[in-house]
Amino acid sequence: MAKKSGKTHKIVIVGAGNIGLALSRLLIDEGHDVVLIEKDPKKAKMAFTQLDCLVINDEGNRPEVLREAGVDDADFFISVTDSDELNMISCGLVAEEFHVPVKIARVRNVYYSTSHILQRHSLGINFIVNPDVEAAEDIVRAVKYGAMSDIIVFERGSLQMRKVIINPGSELINRSIRDIRQGFTHEFLVVAIIRDDDYIIPSGNTQIQENDNLYILTTQQAFDRIFEMSGKFRKKIKRIVVVGGGSVGTLVVDNLLKNRIQMMGPFDRIANLIKPEKPRITIIDRDYDRCKYLSQRFSGVSITNADVSEEGVIDEELHPNYDLIITATGNQELNIVTSVYAKRLGIPRAIALVKKKSYCPVCEELGIDVAVSLNNAVINAILKIVRGENVIHVHSLSGDKLEVVEIEVKKDIGVSGQRIRDLDLPEHVLIILVSRGKRNIIPDGNFTIREGDHVIILSDKEAIQKVEEIFVS
């Protein structure tokens, strides 16, 4: 069970790759005591120069190294190396030799992460975080809502948050938020505006400018109109091509097929059994043996053995009849290039899988509708665990400057029964939504929080620890 949050934790992290570095930086910025262990001298040196924490250049699965790191006094042990086996063994060793309440392992192998052995915690691992599973869920969620942009959905209610990019020629340019709201039939809230690599918490008088990135909270129906006003029109997605039949691509297709069957009515399901629909999904993969496996696993999916990096293959295999392309190979640069080229060929929507979160803004500038970062999916999942048991979701915005947190108000949290104006919230912290049962409420300062509410909070990174002190049990 996660320890009480809202205070400084001691956290030992093994692995100073992209995930380990980014996670350490975020936790240090929040005031936590971080110790980083990395066996590679170059990576350890880079971490030492970039981070304000103790960096140990040694193996993370040696008891003497773990003692040097002070693991016995740690609240969390997190292993995020590139080796699933090392991450699991390190957590098992810590569970056997030390007294750390929470052990977290990054495990990419789907077989390992779904194993009943690990689910019973027999290796001492409290939480398994699988980047492929997390990223696939993000991709499927984007497809479900039209692959128009990044999307944040909450545990309850029908409201969602999306990023809307104001393209040249949009009818929203040079209009105030108050003016836009007066001529709009649906209620919406502009939560934040990203402008020139900085953020604005807007008021009604704030004017929208070209190239602004707006984070808006409203309903799906309202978003359709908002996207039209920003110069982007919704298209129904019927035919999908997935480039890359590896772990992420397979998980995506598996979930898309399950969602399609679940959304069918009873008569449609019977009709589908009698006369199955023609393939709506195509997978392209360069590995012949993988294609054979995929053809056996997905009987209703078209499988093509081809390498999109070869001259002429993209022109042969991709065509405007597809409504969406999902590029999910292990090469993030290839995913970006293929998505951009596919859009130029006439495919309306594109989702690209990348590793580094820093690539996501590049994808947006190139016209890719949604970019999903493997590393960011893992970091958000780990931050949710570190924050506390009643933290439901964590989402980073604006290059990690802002964070959206969904928190369930438990009985023993002091905020229950208090008005928002009496909570002593820090500057740049805003309660943007409260879900109470089936109701979605955009609250004002006089709103009283109750036990069982799901509170959605927008916070500057520098204020997140104060938010935890107030809201997290």
Asked if residues 120 and 87 have their Cβ atoms less than 8 Å apart, the reply is no
CA distances, 347 to each of 115, 142, 324 (Å): 38, 16, 6
305, β-bridge pairs: 285
CA distance 248 to 132: 5
Q: Is the pLDDT of residue 440 over 90?
A: no
Q: Can 149-229 and 388-471 be said to share one CATH topology?
A: yes
Q: What is the predicted pLDDT for the residue at 268?
A: 46
- CATH number belonging to the domain at 240-376, selected among 3.40.50.150, 3.40.50.720, 1.10.132.20, 2.60.120.200: 3.40.50.720
Q: What is the pLDDT of residues 331-356, one digit of tens each?
A: 999 999 999 999 999 999 999 999 98
Q: Which residue has the tokens 């936790």?
A: 27
CA distance 99 to 417: 37
Least confidently predicted of 296-310, 367-381, 401-415: 401-415
CA distance 328 to 372: 10
Q: What is the predicted pLDDT for the residue at 23?
A: 95
pTM: 0.86
Q: Greater confidence, 94 or 153? A: 94
CA distances, 337 to each of 187, 329, 385, 423 (Å): 38, 12, 35, 48
Q: What is the predicted pLDDT for the residue at 399?
A: 66
Amino acid at 256: L
Question: Where do runs of H (alpha helix) occur along 264-345?
Answer: 266-274, 288-297, 313-317, 332-345
Maximum distance among all Cα pairs of the chain, rounded to whole angstroms:
66
Q: Is the pLDDT of residue 212 over 60?
A: yes
Nearest to 330, CA basis, from 80, 148, 108? 108
Q: How many CA atoms lie within 13 A of 378 on its CB side?
A: 29
- CATH number belonging to the domain at 388-471, selected among 3.30.70.1450, 3.30.70.240, 3.30.750.24, 3.40.50.720: 3.30.70.1450
Length of the chain (residues): 473
Asked if residues 194 and 213 have their Cβ atoms less than 8 Å apart, the reply is yes
Answer left, alpha or beta for residue 254, where phi above 0 means left and psi between -120 and 50 means alpha: alpha
Over range 422-439, report the average pLDDT. Answer: 89
Asked if residues 221 and 268 have their Cβ atoms less than 8 Å apart, the reply is no
Nearest to 382, CA basis, from 26, 111, 101, 10? 26
Q: What is the pLDDT of residues 232-247, one digit of tens each?
A: 777 889 999 999 999 9
DSSP, residue by residue, 177-199: HHHHHHT-SS--EEEEEEETTEE
Over range 13-38, report the average pLDDT. Answer: 94
Distance of CA 279 to the CA centre of its chain: 29
Over range 72-81, report the average pLDDT. Answer: 96
- CATH number belonging to the domain at 10-129, selected among 3.30.110.30, 1.25.40.20, 3.40.50.2300, 3.40.50.720: 3.40.50.720
Question: Does the domain made of 149-229 have the CATH classification 3.30.70.1450?
Answer: yes
Least confidently predicted of 353-362, 379-388, 399-408: 399-408
Name the residue ranges covered by the structural domains of the chain: 10-129, 149-229, 240-376, 388-471
